[in-house]
Amino acid sequence: MSIIRVDNSEKTEFDKAIEELKGYFSDLSKSKGRPATYNLLTYGCQLNESDSEKLAGMLQSMGLEKIEGSGELAAADVVVMNTCSVRENADKHLFGNLGVFKSFRSSGENSIIAVCGCMMKVPENVEKIRRSYPYVNLVFDPQQLHRFPILLRDAVSMHKRSVSICGEDYIAEDSYFPIERERKFRALVPIMYGCNNFCTYCIVPYARGRERSRSFSEIMKELEDLASKGYREVMLLGQNVNSYGKGNDDGKTFADILEEASKISEFSRIRFMSSHPKDLSDRVIDIMADRPNVEKHLHLALQSGSDVVLKRMNRPYTAEGYLRIADYFRERVKGGSLTTDIIVGFPGETEEDFVKTLEVCSRAAFDAAFTFQYSIRPGTKAAEFPDQIPADVVTERFGRLTELTNSLTEQSCKRLVGRKEEILIEGISKAGGGVYSGRTITNHLVNFTIPDEIKAQAGFCEDSLEGRLCSVDIQYARPYSVDGVMERFTDGK
């Protein structure tokens, strides 16, 4: 499979397609007596969210307006479903929602429906759409995001279904796309795409393709541009950010990106994910310790504490090696938080293997853990392993694991009580009732109230709170978050 870098010489057709679609949707708006609309549904990880910001930018460049106020499954003139093949029950979400849009079609709506994302790299899913969902107009894979306007134009102009699944791994710089960012203060910045690890349970290398890194200079140019536009936080994204730069000619590594990004004073927080234990360098941890605006939070997937299971997963490290990294992180990044992913019930996992996972969890004292019951992903090696674990055994083990990890998370939250923490405000809390939310530099979720005397101060504006920094007195710990009262703003505004 080849890797193709998309350069701006190919943008002529891209821009032409957007202009043609702008004319098409302008005519549609006139005929309907209202603006043409789009609905973009996103499933999965932050990389999918980043892809959807680019899809939204392209759709708005075509003259479409985002549909508002009708819930997730709202009918629009263009519906795009950006799918995930990693999250559990992803196929049920997709095909269930496609069924809902069929009912919209039956009631007279004439939406253009496009399905993209990682699930479209699984042949069974594409075939099911071909066979059972004839009203889907366009199917394409993540590698062809830069061709979306061209594919959509051709599907519309030819009045027939288009299925475009390619055999190449494309990489296009973010500057290629118009981007409609979801948050006012946080920018998602992919630095690489794809994965070369081929964990036996994971479909990502098949869905996202092989590892390919963006240009170091283009990444830095984008970060400087984001800083000039007022973004306070950036999240550097990749399936495995620590392997950034392999295959590039300049010798730059992820540590180089992190260090240079940390020199941009406008950024209050620099985050990154995901990391793989086999590639994480001590230099990255040292930068986390030494640079005040680099988040003191490391998300490092363990998956299992058993060396036997790790080998079957094709995870090339040992439990001891993982703990060496965890110990170095705890030593260098004082007060930092360590979070992880763990799979329970991987084929062949014995009770002894599982107990070793519990032991590593206790030793690492994770601040939080995302725990999953193993489920078969078609197209992966593990799907063919003969020694699948009975569901009742997996469920029982999962219960023991979550009891431990939930306890560790609650202990982590309790350690914050009585402290004054600087919070990057994210907005109004889901709890409502005058409660706001944000995160510490260790990524702990904080819900807090703002005293009336602060609200009465000149210049206070609730609409502009998002992205501001403030000091919060932490007063109460919940199982997964903490509560507090704001003391003052700390950003000098």
**Could you report the per-residue pLDDT of 96-137, keeping only the tens digit for each?**
888 887 777 655 567 899 999 988 988 888 999 999 998 899
Residue 286: pLDDT band (50, 70, 90) is very high
Identity of the residue numbered 310: L
pLDDT at 38: 94
- Cβ 144 vs Cβ 170: under 8 Å: yes
- Cβ 38 vs Cβ 78: under 8 Å: yes
In this model, does residue 69 exceed pLDDT 60?
A: no
Q: What is the mean pLDDT of residues 425-445?
A: 92
Residue 72: pLDDT band (50, 70, 90) is low
CB atoms under 10 Å from CB of 89, counted, come to: 9
Q: Looking up tokens 């919940």, which residue turns up?
A: 478
The C-alpha torsion from 41 through 47 and 50 to 52, rounded to 10°, is -20
pLDDT at 238: 95
- Measured CA to CA, the distance from residue 311 to residue 304 in angstroms comes to 10
- Tell me what the pLDDT averaged over the chain comes to: 92
- Cβ 209 vs Cβ 1: under 8 Å: yes
CA 255 to chain centre: 21
pLDDT at 37: 94
DSSP-assigned states of every residue in 229-256: TT--EEEEE-TTGGGTTTT-SS---HHH
Q: What is the mean pLDDT of residues 331-343?
A: 97
Name, in order, each residue with C-beta under 8 angstroms of 401's C-beta and a sequence gap of 6 or more: 342, 344, 354, 357, 358, 361, 369, 371
Identity of the residue numbered 150: I
- Cβ 420 vs Cβ 474: under 8 Å: yes
CB atoms under 10 Å from CB of 397, counted, come to: 21
pLDDT tens by residue, 19-49: 999 999 999 999 999 999 999 998 878 899 9
Residue 394: pLDDT band (50, 70, 90) is very high
Q: What is the mean pLDDT of residues 391-411?
A: 98
Give the chain's radius of gyration (CA, Å): 23
- Measured CA to CA, the distance from residue 29 to residue 6 in angstroms comes to 33
Q: Give the phi and the psi of residue 116 in degrees, each rounded to 5.
A: -140, -170
Using CB atoms within 10 A of its CB, is residue 50 exposed (0-12), middle (13-18) or buried (19+)?
buried
Q: What is the mean pLDDT of residues 53-58?
A: 97
Beta bridge partner(s), residue 447: 437, 483
Look at residues 224, 233, 279, 231 and name the one whose alpha carbon lies nearest to residue 255.
279
Look at residues 261, 286, 283 and name the one whose alpha carbon lies nearest to residue 272.
261
Q: What percent of the chain has pLDDT over 90?
A: 75
- Measured CA to CA, the distance from residue 226 to residue 421 in angstroms comes to 26
pLDDT at 441: 97
Q: Looking up tokens 């269930």, which residue turns up?
A: 96
pLDDT at 71: 55
For residue 130, what is the enclosing H or E element? helix 123-132
pLDDT at 269: 97
pLDDT at 432: 77
Identity of the residue numbered 40: L
Report the side by side order of strands in the sheet with 186-190. 186-190, 233-237, 269-273
* Domains in the chain with CATH codes: 3-171 (3.40.50), 183-295 (3.30.750.210), 299-415 (3.30.750.200), 420-489 (2.40.50.140)
Look at residues 336, 449, 356, 338 and name the one whose alpha carbon lies nearest to residue 401.
356
Residue 89: pLDDT band (50, 70, 90) is low
Look at residues 270, 301, 124, 309 and name the one whose alpha carbon lies nearest to residue 195.
301
Q: Looking up tokens 């979306």, which residue turns up?
A: 148
Residue 438: pLDDT band (50, 70, 90) is very high
Residue 87: pLDDT band (50, 70, 90) is low
Q: What is the mean pLDDT of residues 160-166?
A: 87
**Token pair listed for 489:** 């703003």
CA 314 to chain centre: 23
Residue 5: pLDDT band (50, 70, 90) is confident
pLDDT at 107: 58
pLDDT tens by residue, 293-336: 999 999 999 999 999 999 999 999 999 999 999 999 999 999 99
Q: What is the mean pLDDT of residues 457-476?
A: 90
* DSSP symbol at 390: P
